[in-house]
Amino acid sequence: MMPSPAIRTLIVDDEPIARQILHEELGRFSDIAIVGEAENGEQALAKIGQLAPDLVLLDLQMPGLGGFDVIHRMPEGALPIVIIVTAYDEHAIRAFEAGALDYLLKPISQERLTKALDRVRTLHGRPRDVAESLGRLSEAAEPPGARARKVVGRAGEEYFLLNLDDVLAFQAERELVWIVTARQRYLATQALSHIDSRLQGTVFQRIHRNALVNVNHVRRMSPLSSQRWLLTLSNGQEFTVSKRQAHNVRRMLQW
């Protein structure tokens, strides 16, 4: 039986001693390969983009860009498993409940680290689950009342965490839901009804039982009848508004 590939790991913490301790503790595990360290959020983002780690041990409290800022600004295509490292229990619990695979409280115990890495091994190699976890964690990093910023999409066998500002529309085709961007389409991992519920109160409007559109990307609204409209998005794609949703278009026209 072939051994599992090493889990490529990035340590992010502004305290040199904390990074050293984590480095030493992780060295006890033969399947953990430390590929780099970062002492602040800017370095973390750069190294995540350069190194594409499988796992990021991420300190939340850092000067400048903190851990949640790093999650918000994760480079496109990066899908690391995230373990939160913090000295503050309330921050860790909030992150863990939201989607972080696990959290470690300082000072970190060997037993707690072992359990966290067991969770990592379970998730390693399951990109959809990793993407969903990172998406939930990104939402939890938002201030209360703020809108969601990310959505998970699949292209081929790869999963991507997409910025909602870049999404033009969600379009259902039978059991499939497509995420439409200016460059390409991705398959959503959730039903359109769930996406609609999640995006209530945002710039996304339901215009048909099979479509949600980002009103910021609507470039033309052409009447087909007194109660039907044809919407043209910034990529040239057209959508028909159903009679039932015509009031949404009238509301959009007032914006």
Q: Are 205 and 195 in contact (CB under 8 A)?
A: no
Inside any domain, residue 209: yes
Pick from 107, 140, 173: which residue ends a domain? 140
145: in domain: no
Task: Identify the CATH number of the domain in which residue 114 sits.
Answer: 3.40.50.2300
User: Does 32 reside within a domain?
Assistant: yes
Give the dihedral sign, CA 80/85/89/90: negative
Residue 2 lies in a domain: no
Q: Specify whether 126 is located in the same domain as 217.
A: no
Question: Do residues 24 and 135 both lie within one domain?
Answer: yes
Confidence grade of residue 144 (pLDDT, cut at 50, 70, 90): very low
Q: What is the CA radius of gyration of the chain?
A: 21
Residue 94: domain span: 7-140
How far, in Å, are 164, 201, 211 from residue 219 at the CA level?
Answer: 18, 21, 17
Q: What is the pTM of this model?
A: 0.70
Decide if pLDDT at 141 tops 80: no
Show which of 106, 121, 140 is a domain's final residue.
140
**Residue range 183-202, pLDDT digits in tens:** 899 999 889 998 998 888 88
**In this prediction, what percent of the chain has a pLDDT beyond 70?**
85
- With respect to residue 1, please indicate whether it lies within any of the assigned structural domains: no
The answer to whether the CB of 179 falls within 8 A of the CB of 190 is no
Out of 112, 140, 168, a domain closes at 140
Residue range 64-70: mean pLDDT, rounded: 88
Asked whether residue 238 is domain-assigned, the answer is yes
CATH code of 156's domain: 2.40.50.1020
> Strand, helix or coil at 59?
strand
Alpha carbon of 55 to those of 37, 116, 117, 151, 162: distances in Å? 12, 11, 10, 20, 19
- Are 134 and 184 members of one domain? no
How many domains does the chain fold into?
A: 2
Same domain as 74, residue 49: yes
69 confidence band (pLDDT: 50, 70, 90): confident
Is there a single domain that holds both residue 126 and residue 179?
A: no
Residue 193 resides in a domain: yes
Mean pLDDT of the chain: 84
Asked if residue 223 and residue 190 are part of one domain, the reply reads: yes
